[in-house]
Amino acid sequence: MKQNMPDSLRDGGKHLVELGDEVESAWERLRSTSEGMGDIFGDDLVGGLIGAAYSAIYELASETFSSVTDDFHAFGERLTLVGDNDEENEQNLAKLLSQINDMLDGIGKG
């Protein structure tokens, strides 16, 4: 069965929010695993450099995943709102067309 436009928009929005939740969960699992490993780079010069690089990359990844998750949620919520607005506009247009039709039928009978 073919979906109407508002339902398709709302379903798309719902899927984007779910995708944001999945990305967030995946990042939390990775973060938890990473933090659970402790200091794996050692105290020597090379280990310190690798640890510093890892920390910088980790911080960038954390900001990126957080931003992507927020965007998926925001886009999904807005897409759902667009579906709701589209449905409301369709209903208002159908009501208006029905009123115009009723008025024209009255003119033709008079």
Whether pTM exceeds 0.85: no
pLDDT at residue number 38: 77
pLDDT at residue number 42: 82
Interval 68-102: pLDDT, tens? 999 999 999 999 999 999 999 999 999 999 999 88
pLDDT at residue number 66: 94
CA distances from 57 to 20, 37, 61, 65 (A): 21, 16, 6, 12
Per cent of the chain over pLDDT 90 is 64
Cβ contact 85:15 at 8 Å: no
Determine the topology of domain 5-109 in CATH.
Answer: Helix Hairpins (1.10.287)
In 19-102, beta strands by DSSP E: none
- Residue 24 in tokens: 């967030």
Domain limits, the chain: 5-109
